[in-house]
Amino acid sequence: MSRLDDLRDEAALFDALGAMAAVVGAANVKADDATRERYARSTAARPVRPLALVRPADAADVARLVKIAAGARLAVYPISTGKNWGYGDACAVGAGQVILDLSRMNRIIHVDPELAYAVIEPGVTQRQLSDFLRERGYPLWADCTGAGPDTSYIGNIMERGFGHSPYGNRLQHVAGMQVVLASGELLETGFGHYRQARAAHLFPYGVGPFLDGLFTQSNMGIVTRLGIWLMPHSECVNHFLCSVPDHADIASVVDALRPLRLDGTLRSILHIGNDMRVFSGGGLFPRAAVPDGARLPAALRTQMRANSGVGAWTVSGALYGSTAQVALARTALRRALRGTRARSTFVSERSLRAGDLAARLLGDTAVGRRLRARVALGRSLFAMNRGVPDGRFLAGAYWRRRTGLPAGFPLHADPARDRCGLLWVSPVLPLRGADMLAVHDLAEAAFHKYGFDLFATFSMINERALGGVLTIAYDQDDAGETARAKACHDEVFANLFEAGYIPYRVGNHAMARLDPEGDSYWRTVEAIKAALDPAGILAPGRYQPGVAAGLD
């Protein structure tokens, strides 16, 4: 709830913003229309105008700002870099809140090369940490996502995002958070609240109740710092791509891979994407060939698959270890897939170099172009495996955009600025082929009904579950398409939810849907929230279905 309605006097609001400016400097408080408009941009076509924008320099600033907000009964909404594409971007759940933009807090406070971790602030981006480690010569990689180089590590971890490497279950690789509470108090989790502690970033649990989880997907506090574990360079990395020609055949491939994920042969997070995911990474929706408002016709889709040599599904993942360990894993993978219809390719440094050479020899021929595209994809995947982020995996967001990719893509790609339409439904399902087909089919029925191409990725987020990311890419400049996209999202969400495939994460537009039955889990969350933030100052409505319902 915005407390703005409660303000008897506009003067009190100006006083509060003035007090905030005294903390962070006038240049770091903005309430002009252009700024508010910019922060209201949303790929989810749900623009939410903030009251103002404030940019603190450090945790002490954040604590002071929270106290000022509490005094003025203003809601504050922290964002790290505000690039939560498809889930709400930089927007608060409700209008009229003060956005606390933490992007100035971008210090890499410490890196320990021996014990392989870093201590970072919320403004630290994937690109920044990756560059820092490389430039200083630390033999460490940070886990990387495809969400783009300018996204925040902490922002993603707070949403329990996942990456690609053996450290892809990111929350499991966090130790020691610093949190500003609604009271303005600074909390250190783990052992960090003991000033003399030597394992503050080495052992997450500390002693006593383990609180870290409470501050993820929540509005219980503002995380201003954390310890993130990094992966030591491994001698050898191979990327494997495994193509499955026909849709239904993916089920047996999933079931064949499950034992290898369970027994630790596959330690990184495998991603299983459909053909649309591959097409959208390499091109745009062929509007010219398709009736207005329609999705890709089946015949054209089949033809595109054939042209680009893409299967209905592609499994993508990385193997890490010594050369001998990776070779063993390759053998185990090949053996596991023997009875299936999957065709595997392993991408190594050497094969990329050979591909480069061959593509150059083939020149500007069809085969040469295809090979070059593959080598470029391989290079991007390979870089990501080693913690170097790449914007190219954001291309899918631009799929339905009438004006295509912006100049200079993918450097500094910004789907919200570029008015891309993007909505995600992210169900968790048992790591079983049958469940994957069931989720796909439920989603496909709704996507078909509303005329959207289903972009589907299923990721092995742990050894027993798949995290699905079902993307509705639409054109925000087309009002009818936007309305259809929202209806499609709601129907897919509802159908999957009812079928027991609950999302691992939701957008601002779906917060209110999380507690249809008023259950004891959400009542418990409310009780804790009331204890830690009795005035409801912090991010009201965020993973707080009861409050969010009133803000819609």
> How far is the CA of 270 from the CAs of 171, 265, 296, in angstroms?
17, 12, 27
Q: What is the DSSP string of 169-223?
A: BGGGGEEEEEEE-TTS-EEE-TTTTSTT-S-TTT-TT-SSS--GGGGSSSSS-EE
**Which H or E run includes 465?**
strand 465-475
Burial class from Cβ neighbours inside 10 Å (0-12, 13-18, 19+) for residue 310 reads buried
Residues 6+ apart with CB under 8 A from 309: 243, 370
Encoded one letter per residue, x for contact with a second copy by CB under 8 A and - for no contact, window 95-114 reads -------------------x
Distance CA 130, CA 150 (A): 11
Q: Residue 31 interacts with a second copy (CB under 8 A)?
A: no
Q: Interaction with a second copy in 276-315: which residues (CB under 8 A)?
A: none
Which member of 129, 501, 537, 548 binds a second copy (CB under 8 A)? 501
Q: Interaction with a second copy in 79-98: which residues (CB under 8 A)?
A: none
User: Which lies closer to a second copy via its Cβ, residue 296 or residue 460?
Assistant: 460
User: Which lies closer to a second copy via its Cβ, residue 302 or residue 323?
Assistant: 323
- Which tokens hold the place of 421? 């339409």
Q: Are 385 and 318 contacting, i.e. CB atoms less than 8 angstroms apart?
A: yes
User: Which lies closer to a second copy via its Cβ, residue 236 or residue 376?
Assistant: 236
Select from 69-77, 276-284, 370-378, 520-528 the region that touches a second copy (CB under 8 A): 520-528
Residue 287 phi/psi, 5-degree rounding, is: -55, -40
Distance CA 57, CA 64 (A): 11
> How far is the CA of 216 from the CAs of 155, 203, 213, 322, 339, in angstroms?
10, 18, 5, 35, 41
Which contacts qualify for 522-531: CB closer than 8 Å, 24 or more apart?
A: 522/546, 525/218, 528/214, 528/220, 529/218, 529/219, 529/220
Encoded one letter per residue, x for contact with a second copy by CB under 8 A and - for no contact, window 463-492 reads xxx-x-------------------------
User: Which lies closer to a second copy via its Cβ, residue 92 or residue 377?
Assistant: 92
Q: Residue 264 interacts with a second copy (CB under 8 A)?
A: yes
Q: Interaction with a second copy in 209-238: which residues (CB under 8 A)?
A: 209-218, 220, 229, 232, 234
Smallest distance from the beta carbon of 201 to a second copy, in angstroms? 8
Distance CA 51, CA 4 (A): 9
Q: Residue 203 interacts with a second copy (CB under 8 A)?
A: yes
User: Which lies closer to a second copy via its Cβ, residue 27 or residue 520?
Assistant: 520
Q: Interaction with a second copy in 415-444: which residues (CB under 8 A)?
A: 428-432, 435
Q: Interaction with a second copy in 146-165: which residues (CB under 8 A)?
A: 160
Select from 310-318, 341-349, 373-381, 521-529 the region that touches a second copy (CB under 8 A): 521-529
Smallest distance from the beta carbon of 466 to a second copy, in angstroms? 9
Q: Residue 519 interacts with a second copy (CB under 8 A)?
A: yes
Encoded one letter per residue, x for contact with a second copy by CB under 8 A and - for no contact, window 444-463 reads -----------------xxx
